[in-house]
Amino acid sequence: MRPTTAEERDARTALNKGAPTLEFGRRVPYDAYVHASTLHTLQRTLSSDPGEMSFLMVSQIMELYFGLIRHELEQAREHVRAGEVWPALAPLKRAALHLEGLNAAWQTLRWMTPADFNKFRDLLGEGSGFQSAMYRQVEFLLGLRTKSLMRPFRGTAAYEELEVALHRPSLWDEVIALLARQGHAIKPGLLDRDVADEHETDQSVADAWVRVYRDTGPENHLRLLGEALTEVADRFGDWRYLHLKAVQRTMGAKSGTGGSNGLAFLQRSMSRPVFPELWTSRTEM
C-alpha cells in the first residue's frame, strides 16, 4: 500500500467530483490492509446446519478480541513497569471497551437452544473454547495463573509463548511493584515472589489502595489507574458471567466437549477475582 497525504486525497476527491475511486490495480487497497478476502475463507463448518456458522464465526470474533485485549494489556503493563501511570490509562480504557465488544458477541448466540447446539455439537469432538491459547494469554496478563492449563498446548508454538508469558510479571504484579516504588508499604515477599504462581490477596496491597483512594486530588494518577483497572476487571467479570449463562442456556450442566464438568468448572473459575485487592479494599474506603 502506498501512503497518501492530505493534499493527494483532496486532489483525488476533486478529480472524482466527490465520488469514490473505482479503479485500482490488481488488489483493492482495503483488502490489502484488512485481508478481508482471507478472513472470509476461514469459516469452515463441520455440518450442513445453517446455525453452525453463527457459532463458528462468533468464536473466531472472540479470538480476535482476545488478541486485541492482550495487545492493550501488554501496552499498559510496559507503561506501568516504566512508572508511566498517565500513558497506561489509554490502553486500559481501550481494553475495557474491547471487553464490551467481546461481551456483546454473546448476544448474537442467544437464539441457540440445546436442540440447536446438539445439531452439530458431536462433530466438535474434544474441541472446546477452554483450549484457547490467546485467552490463556489474557488470563496470565491479568494475574490468573494455573500452570496445568498450559498442558493442552505442549509441543506447539503456543506453549512456548505461554511459557514466556507465565514467567513474566503480570499487569497486576507490575502495579504492586509500582505502589512499592511510590512509597507504599508493600510486604517485601510480594516483590520477589515467583511470578509463575498466582497472586494471592494481600492486606498490604489493599491498605495501599485505601491510601491511594483517600487522596482525591487532581494529581493523584494512581487513583485514576485504580479506576481504569477496576473497569477492566469489571468487564472481564461480565465476560465470565455471560460465558456461564451461554453454557447454561445451550447445554445446562452437561459435561463439556473438552472433558470438564462444564457449568461447575466455569463457576469455580468465576471465584478467582481479577486484581483482588481493588475489591477487598473497598470495604475500608
Single out the residue of 147, 146, 191, 148 nearest to residue 172, CA to CA: 191
CA atoms of 165 and 136, how far apart (whole Å)? 9
Collapsing DSSP to helix, strand or coil, 184 comes out as: coil
The annotation status of 243 as a binding-site residue, yes or no, is: yes
257 is in an annotated binding site: yes
User: Can you tell me whether residue 263 is helix, strand or coil?
Assistant: helix
Q: Helices 221-251 and 133-142 meet at what angle, rounded to 10?
A: 140
For cell 469452515, the residue is 44
3-state secondary structure of 76: helix
| 124 alpha carbon, distance to own chain's centre | 24
Number of neighbours of residue 19 by Cβ within 10 angstroms: 8
Nearest CA-CA partner of 1 in 20, 23, 21, 28: 28
Q: Which residues contact 166 (CB under 8 A, 6 or more apart)?
A: 140, 145, 147, 150, 196
Angle at CA of residue 152, ends 147 and 155, nearest 5°: 100
Which residue reads 475463507 in cell numbers? Answer: 41
40 closest CA partner among 20, 56, 23: 56
User: Which residues are annotated as part of the binding site?
Assistant: 121, 243, 257
User: Which residues are annotated as part of the binding site for heme?
Assistant: 243
User: Which residues are annotated as part of the binding site for substrate?
Assistant: 121, 257
